Structure 1
Amino acid sequence: MKTVPALRLSCGVLFALASIHAWSQTSETGAAATGSAMAASGAMPAKATRQANRALRRKVYAAIVKYKEIDAGKISVIAKDGAVTLDGTVVDESQIDKVTAIAKSVTGVVSVTSRLAVRKPFGGQ
């Protein structure tokens, strides 16, 4: 007698799981169609845009790090669609121009905004 309700319950659970799985596949197909429509229209998906921005930020930062006289640890780089913003501190006025020139020389950089400030190291001259 107890097996009949248990069998009904298990059939109901299986039916619900099958329905959820079928619905999930349908939504994935719709998402793929939407993604291909976005690609056809020329718009980059948000994930690809974020990845491109991160890659550009890393390239600019790597270019700055190559110069040992610049303390790159005190400089932050923000990249958005080719526009790069530099923020932080340097120890000499001439380094502001140097860091800006380095950022402009990186492939993919469209514009550079510098918010760098001069700050002498503690105990420095």
Structure 2
Amino acid sequence: MNNLRVLSIAVGVLLAAASVSAWAQGGGTASGSAAPALTAASGVPTGKAARQANRALSRKVYAALAKHKEIEAGNISVVARDGAVTLNGTVTEASQIDTVAAIAKGVPGVTSVANRLSVQRPLGE
């Protein structure tokens, strides 16, 4: 029983040491500038570049929605992650749910749309 406990503590310490070492070797260069926007091996955006791309895509979807005056985009939140867009919030009519999804799908860079919109009920109803 004691040997098993010592072994699990040793494994935990080794994992902690390895993760701290990997974290300390992070992406900065000698001059202190930020890491490049894409990793060389995979072509996948780094954290900061990915967040910027996600925000830019969200803004594009909002801009496309704003062109349609019948849709109150202020009641809709757009979350983008690697081309996948999630729509949350409310619209005033049921027909607008599909319209908003179609508008979002038409924005360049959007690969998929998760539509979680619902119809806003007027107060007192």
What is the TM-score of this pair, normalised by structure 1? 0.68
Equivalent residue runs for 1:78-93 within 5 Å: 78-93=79-94
Aligned to 1:61: 62
Aligned-residue offset at 1:123: 6.6
1:85–1:113 CA contact under 8 A, matched in 2: yes
Whole-Å Cα distance in 1 between the matches of residues 105 and 86 of structure 2?
Answer: 11
Q: Does 1:35 align with 2:35?
A: yes
Whole-Å Cα distance in 1 between the matches of residues 74 and 122 of structure 2?
Answer: 13
Q: Letter of the aligned partner of 1:75 in structure 2?
A: I
Structure 1, unmatched stretches of 5+, are: 1-26
Structure 2, unmatched stretches of 5+, are: 1-27
Greater helix share, structure number: 1
Structure 1 range deviating more: 93-102 or 114-123: 114-123
Superposed CA deviations along residues 51-79 of structure 1, whole A, max 9, x for unmatched, are: 00000000001100111111111000000
Whole-Å Cα distance in 2 between the matches of residues 61 and 117 of structure 1?
Answer: 18
Superposed CA deviations along residues 84-109 of structure 1, whole A, max 9, x for unmatched, are: 00000011110000000000000000
Aligned to 1:46: 47
Q: Letter of the aligned partner of 2:40 in structure 1?
A: A
Equivalent residue runs for 1:107-122 within 5 Å: 107-122=108-123
Q: Letter of the aligned partner of 1:40 in structure 2?
A: A
Aligned to 2:105: 104
Structure 1 range deviating more: 91-100 or 42-51: 42-51
How many residues were matched structurally? 96
What is the TM-score of this pair, normalised by structure 2? 0.68
Structure showing greater radius of gyration is 1
Whole-Å Cα distance in 2 between the matches of residues 47 and 100 of structure 1?
Answer: 27
1:90–1:96 CA contact under 8 A, matched in 2: yes
Query: How much is the aligned-residue C-alpha RMSD, in angstroms?
Result: 2.2
Aligned-residue offset at 1:44: 1.5
